[in-house]
Amino acid sequence: MNNGRLYRRIAVAAVLLSLLAGTVLMLILGKNPFLAYYNLLQGSGLAPKAKYAAARSMWTDLSSFIDFWTPMIFAALACAVAMKTGLFNIGISGQMLVAGFLATITIGYSGLSAYLAKPLVILIGMAAGMAVGALIGFLKYRFNINEVVSSIMLNYIAEYIISFFIQTRFVDPVSRQSKNIGAAARLTLQDVAIGGYKFSIPLAFVLAVIACVLVKIMLDRTVLGYELKAVGANRTAAGYAGIRVGRSMIVSMAISGALAGLAGVSYYLGYFASIQPKVLVSTGFDSIAVCLLGSSDPVGILFSSFLIQVIAKGSTYMSSQQGLESEIVSVITGLILLFSACSAFFMGLVVSRKNAKNNTKDLRFGDEAETAPAAVTAAVNRPAEDKGGEEA
Amino acid sequence: MQTQTTTGDYIVEMVGITKRFPGIIANEDVTIRIRKGEIYALLGENGAGKSTLMSMLFGMYEPDEGEIFIRGKKEKITSPSYAASLNIGMVHQHFKLVSNYTIAQNIILGAEPTKKLLGFIPIVDEAKANREIAEISRQYGLEVDPTAVIEDVNVSTRQRVEILKMLYRNAEILIFDEPTAVLTPQEIDSLLGIIRALRDGGKTIILITHKLEEIRQVADRCAILRRGKLIDVRDVPGMDAREMAALMVGHEVQLTAEKSAAKFGDPVLEVSHLVVENEEHFQTVRDVSFTVHAGEIFSIAGVSGNGQTEIADAVAGRLKAKSGTIRLHGQDITNMSIRQRTLAGISYIPEDRQQVGLILDFTLRDNLGLKDYHKEPFQKSGMLNQPVFEENSEKLIDGYDIRSANRGSTMVRSMSGGNQQKAIIGREIEQDASLCIFVQPTRGLDIGAIENIHRQIIAERDKGKAVLLISLELDEVTELSDTIAVIYSGAFGRIAPAEDYTTSMLGEYMMGVAKDNAKNGGGNE
């Protein structure tokens, strides 16, 4: 309840602090930090640039930013569902690739009409990701193979097998990537002319927002979500309560995989139209940071993915406008990520300050200590519970 | 209440101590003075403020008001390490040991004797450590094998290691926090012997407990705390147990549960030739057969680790039976899932309330629905019905007097052990199952709570439920049971009506000294 509020406040503070750290760095380098941050916004289409090339505008930049943002939302949601069940899905990139590849070769290269092709792309993407995810869950349940190991291995398997087929069957001789898919199958409408500008309209973004809402409802309001969270919080107790732990893990990984599949199709058949062989996109790995920054909460993820993607997309423009070396830009984005990721630490800091008021050193002690400073104990053990005091 | 002067007679003086936590006063103007070389007991219910008071002496908290004098000198004890430098040591209720280190390594951890290898490389002098430890253990009768690894030794040895840790650090003032909560009767006796030996060796002992019997056996003086206040300090010789109990809880306590004669109904649980193996294919339960009838409290008595919890887990479905059958109302449930058994009418209060019975990071409301969430009206077509959860939680919180900071919204982790147990018991009893399994239902709870739980167990029986009670507390077993089975090394030594046993007989069967043929069980049939 209130824990969410405290967490949000700290996340915001962490982001502000990181921007401050970036500011200091840029001042040392003799750059104008405000301008640099403004460039960041310009680069990602959130602020108008001084001038645009033909058929571009701030709004077209923004639409392409949203297109870029979409796969990250799906991927971070995929991570969150697994995380809530106590599983670590590090195979999101591989699941994205499998989904993207299968949708590309089945629908992408078919001549189906847009009304048929787009839903099919989405369905095939979900199904493919779900199958890979469920497989990882099954391996864990049946053979007790750690999901981190199996998903990393599956990442490699997917990467190399798919590269083999792309390079032997589907390669575009010029780009050395898979051949571009047909426009009918693409989830982003390209070059839609509105008022003289050409927009790319990411249809999957609507789906991503809906997915956020659905995952939130699933986790908070359904029997399934209750079971998944129970398994994530305490597997033994979940089993004692009659929850089938193995089944919950498979279901969780299947849902996670399906979301990763959506990330895959919105990336390979939306933002891009082709697949680069022998490369796993970083989105799947970055999504873990995004998920943690958003405290594994779908609404939090909407914000954290936005922040991360603004930085990712705007930093090139910032570096070119400010004459900053791209390495420095990486340092600044790294700082932002670092501070944001440390929000859990800041949380602990806030909590222990609160404790200091009670002269409390070790709260995990004895039965009575548990009764007495109930609220404080909770806060230490789980930096979540916040009670009255912090308002002061 | 007493004058603020200090004299040299006392080694520890805590004067006018007040400690507040948000919403609660843990200690209010408490003054205790402890003489050098005495065993000073702190008696009180859970939540009376005993541990908090000692935590301040051990430097884990600082008092809001009041002063602490050690050896007549005023001290501000800011940390456990400062407390250690004042020769204060504490044996915690939950041991703080590294499980894959040897006993010697655990004892010296943080205070390792070093020697110089080749004259300049500092290394731990394990031989010296072993020698010193052996000497200390001989001195106080604390036999341990310094080279044994912690995870291989039993609870009472681990406790000895904790004691040795303090002695190794030259502790003069030793605080024991509920040291007997985890021990068997024999182990308790030997621990009390050790405590006496420590006192005779010149140490000052502070014993936190809520067991009157122990205080009577070893303590010299006893301070009684109730709701954070010091009620009285008594000399133990010549004290009256009943009066002490009354002072402790604030009203007369019935030390024996009142129960009417049992009216046995039909057999509810029939276990025959049950064998359970652990992961190493070791038979933890060997060919056990018994029957529990409606309206019967069937207890399994025994020293911890003899297979009794495995029986409970096998009946509840948490462990698979290697062979044998388990029937509930004549229906074979041997291969049913946990959920199916729950629905067939088994409720289960597990031994480990924090790891098994509850999800600590869930709210109390969600925990109280842990067994029901999948049933209507808790859910409708897959969607949870929050108002029903809330209603259920309000009903149980009031019905079972579960105390927590924010009622249903409290994280269970922040609740006290007693209230966590009340939550499990409330939830399980409300299942209205025909068989109720209680494993160690009152472990670590205070007299008031124990009394309450005992009443509830008897009430369940009187409602015609079959009760399977597994407890290490002999008093509990003899007080409540209609039938007692004594387990030793995975097999029943005897099954007989409770009145056929004397306490010493129980002890003999528990230690495997006496043995009947109870194989085809049902001395109660």
Q: Looking only at Cα atoms, what is the longest distance across chain B?
A: 79
A327 touches chain B (CB under 8 A): no
Collapsed DSSP state (helix, strand, coil) of residue B364: helix
Report chain B's mean pLDDT, rounded to a whole number.
86
Clarify whether residues A131 and A277 are in a common domain.
Answer: yes
Q: How confident is the model at residue A382 (pLDDT cuts 50, 70, 90)?
A: very low
CB contact under 8 A, B59 and A361: yes
Q: Which range scores top for mean pLDDT: A64-78, A341-355, A375-389? A: A64-78
Asked whether residue A36 is assigned to any structural domain, the reply reads no
Strands B283-293 and B65-70: unpaired
- Contact yes or no for B38/B233 (Cβ under 8 A): no
Q: Among all residues of chain A, which has the CA nearest to that of B179?
A: A366
Q: Report cis status (omega within 30 of 0) of the bond before A373.
A: no
Q: What is the ipTM of this complex?
A: 0.80
Q: Which amino acid is at B481?
A: S
Does residue A335 lie in a domain region?
yes
Computed from CA positions of residues A364, A366, A367, A372, in that sequence, does the dihedral angle turn out positive or negative? negative
Return the percentage of chain A with pLDDT > 90, whole number: 55
In angstroms and rounded to an integer, the radius of gyration of the C-alpha atoms of chain A is: 23
Quote the Cα angle for B347-B352-B357, to 5°: 45
- Kindly list the residues from chain B whose CB atom is less than 8 angstroms away from the CB atom of residue A366: 51, 55, 92-93, 177-178, 208
* Last-in-domain residue among A283, A314, A345: A314
- Between B471 and A264, the higher pLDDT residue: A264
Residue A247 predicted with pLDDT over 80: yes
CATH topology for B1-87+172-181+198-253 is Rossmann fold (3.40.50)
Half-sphere exposure of B178 (CA within 13 A, CB side): 20
Predicted pLDDT at B513: 67
Q: Is there a single domain that holds both residue A250 and residue A161?
A: yes
- H helices of B86-181, in order, are 103-108, 126-140, 155-168
B94: closest CA among B26, B211, B178?
B178
Are residues A56 and A97 both part of a single domain?
A: yes
Which region, left, alpha or beta, applies to residue A138 given φ > 0 means left and ψ of -120 to 50 means alpha?
Answer: alpha
Does an H or E element contain B503, and which?
helix B503-510
Q: What is the pLDDT of residue A388?
A: 35
Q: Which pLDDT score, from 0 to 100, does residue B11 have?
A: 92
Residues A362 and A281 in one domain: no
Task: Give B214-219's long-range contacts (Cβ < 8 A, gap of 24+).
Answer: B214/B41, B214/B180, B214/B188, B215/B41, B215/B43, B215/B244, B216/B241, B217/B192, B218/B39, B218/B41, B218/B192, B219/B39, B219/B40, B219/B41
Indicate which CATH number applies to the domain containing A100.
Answer: 1.10.3470
Among A193-197, A258-262, A327-331, the range scoring the smallest mean pLDDT is A327-331
**Which of A271, A289, A314 is the last residue before a domain boundary?**
A314
pLDDT more than 90, % of chain B: 43
The pLDDT of B96-125, averaged and rounded, is 83
Residues B316, B266: Cα–Cα separation, whole Å: 20
H-type alpha helices, B141-178: 155-168
pLDDT at B425 over 60: yes
- Rounded to 5°, the CA angle B501-B505-B509 comes to 110
CATH class in words for B267-363+433-510:
alpha beta
Measuring CA to CA, how many Å separate A312 from each of A26, A279, A305, A309?
A: 18, 18, 10, 5
Q: Of A314, A342, A365, which closes a domain?
A: A314
| Chain A residues in contact with B357 (beta carbon < 8 A) | 237, 240
Q: Which residues of A touch B80 (CB under 8 A)?
A: 361-362
Find the mean pLDDT for residues A206-226.
96
Tokens of residue B415, six digits: 């609740």
Residues of A within 8 A of B361 (CB-CB) are 233-234, 382, 384
Mean pLDDT of B182-205: 86
CA–CA min distance A325, chain B (Å) = 46
Average pLDDT over residues A259-268: 97
Closest by CA position to B270, among listed B247, B251, B289, B295: B289
Weakest mean pLDDT among B255-259, B419-423, B461-465: B255-259
Q: What does each C-alpha distance from A108 to A121, A122, A185, A268 come to in angstroms?
A: 8, 11, 5, 10
Which pTM does this prediction carry? 0.74
DSSP class of B246:
H
Q: Do residues A89 and A287 touch, judged by C-beta distance below 8 A?
A: no
Instruction: Check whether residue A14 and residue A163 sit in a common domain.
Output: no
Do the Cβ atoms of B21 and A359 come within 8 Å? no
Q: Check: CB of residue B493 under 8 Å from CB of residue B290.
A: no
Domain with A236 in it? 52-314
Of chain A residues 225-244, which have a CB less than 8 A from chain B?
225-226, 229-230, 233-234, 236-244
Cβ–Cβ gap A366/B23 under 8 Å: no
Higher-confidence residue: A96 or A4?
A: A96
Specify the domain boundaries for CATH 3.40.50.300 within chain B: 1-87+172-181+198-253, 267-363+433-510
Is A12 a domain residue?
Answer: yes
CA–CA separation, B131 and B219 (whole Å): 32
> Cα separation of B396 and B424, whole Å?
10
Q: What is the predicted pLDDT for the residue at B452? A: 87
- Same domain assignment for residues A146 and A291: yes
- Grade residue B251 by pLDDT with cuts at 50, 70 and 90: low
- Looking at the structure, do residues A92 and A23 belong to the same domain, yes or no? no
Q: What crossing angle do the helices spanning B241-249 and B447-462 adopt, rounded to 10°? A: 90
Taking contacts as CB-CB distances below 8 angstroms, the residues of chain B near A236 are 355-356
Most B-contacting residue of A218, A367, A385 (CB-CB within 10 A), to test interface: A367
Q: Looking at residue A245, what is its pLDDT?
A: 94
Smallest Cβ–Cβ distance between A368 and the set B52, B59, B370 belongs to: B52
pLDDT for position B9: 77
User: Does residue B6 register a pLDDT over 60?
Assistant: no
Q: Residue A356: closest CA among chain B residues belongs to which residue? A: B61
The helix (H) or strand (E) run that includes residue B117 is strand B114-117
Closest chain A CA to residue B417: A367
Domain assignment of residue A37, yes or no = no
Within-domain flag for A250: yes
Determine which of B74-78, B137-141, B216-220, B421-425 has the lowest per-residue pLDDT on average. B137-141
CA distance A376 to A219: 27
Is A44 a member of any domain? Answer: no
Interface contact A248, partner B, CB < 8 A:
no
Higher pLDDT, residue B331 or B125 = B331
Using alpha carbons, select from A215, A205, A305, A203 the residue that is nearest to residue A255: A215
Instruction: Give residue A354's pLDDT.
Output: 61
Q: Say if residues B468 and B300 touch (Cβ distance below 8 Å).
A: yes
Name the 3-class secondary structure at B506: helix
Q: Are A347 and A7 in contact (CB under 8 A)?
A: yes
The pLDDT score that the predictor gives to residue A343 is 67
Say if CB B139 and CB B201 are below 8 A apart: yes
Structure confidence at residue B435 (pLDDT) = 96
Q: Which of B357, B247, B21 is nearest to A371 (CA)?
A: B21
Tell me which residue has tokens 């898979």: A178
| Alpha-carbon span B373 to B361, nearest angstrom | 17
CA–CA distance, A53 with A55 (Å, rounded to integer): 6
Share of chain B above pLDDT 70, in %: 92
Q: pLDDT band for position A177 (50/70/90)?
A: very high
C-alpha separations of A213 from A216, A328, B247, B379 in Å: 5, 37, 57, 20
pLDDT band of residue A193 (cuts 50, 70, 90) is confident
Cα distance between residue A278 and residue A257, in whole Å: 21
Helix (H, G, I), strand (E, B) or coil at B99: coil
The two beta strands, B39-43 and B221-226, are: parallel
- Both A95 and A164 in one domain: the answer is yes
Q: How sure is the predictor about B321, in pLDDT bands with cuts at 50, 70 and 90?
A: very high
Distance of alpha carbon B344 from alpha carbon B336, whole angstroms: 10
CA pair distance A146, A158, nearest whole angstrom: 18
Nearest in space to A63 (alpha carbons), one of A191, A221, A231: A191
CA distance A381 to B354: 14
pLDDT at residue B260, rounded to an integer: 80
CA distances for B165 relative to B79, B118, B132, angstroms: 18, 29, 12
A18/A166 same-domain check: no
Answer yes or no: is A64 within a domain.
Answer: yes
Structure confidence at residue A265 (pLDDT): 97
The 10s digit of each residue's pLDDT in B435-452 is 999 999 987 777 778 888
What is the tally of structural domains in chain A?
A: 2
Q: What is the pLDDT of residues A348-364, one digit of tens each?
A: 677 666 655 543 333 33
pLDDT bracket for residue A82 (50, 70, 90): very high
The minimum CA-CA distance between A222 and chain B, rounded to whole Å, is 4
Burial of residue A325 (number of CB atoms within 10 Å: 0-12, 13-18, 19+): exposed
- Please indicate whether, in this complex, the C-beta atoms of B362 and A229 are within 8 angstroms of each other: yes
CB B200 within 8 A of CB B18: no
Higher pLDDT, B134 or A9: B134
Query: What do you get for the CA distance between the two ends of chain B, in Å?
Result: 61
Residue B299 pLDDT level (bands cut at 50, 70, 90):
very high
Q: Kindly state whether residues A268 and A383 are assigned to the same domain.
A: no
Q: Which tokens sit at A358?
A: 């009670």
Sign of CA dihedral B218, B220, B225, B228: negative
Q: Do A367 and B382 touch (CB under 8 A)?
A: no
Do A363 and A386 fall within a single domain? Answer: yes
CB nearest to A365's CB, from B60, B338, B362: B60
CB contacts < 8 A (A, B)? 166
A346 and A228 in a single domain? The answer is no
Residue A4 falls within a domain, yes or no?
Answer: yes
Cβ-defined contact of B358 to A237 (cutoff 8 Å)? yes
Summarised one tens digit per residue, pLDDT across range B338-381 is: 999 999 999 999 988 888 999 999 999 999 999 999 998 999 99
Query: For residue range A4-38, what is the model confidence (pLDDT) as tens digits?
Result: 677 777 777 777 888 888 888 888 888 888 888 89
Q: Is pLDDT of B3 > 50?
A: no
Give the closest-approach CA distance of A302 to chain B in angstroms.
24
DSSP B209-235: ES-HHHHHHH-SEEEEEETTEEEEEEE
Confidence band, pLDDT 50/70/90 cuts, at residue B153: confident
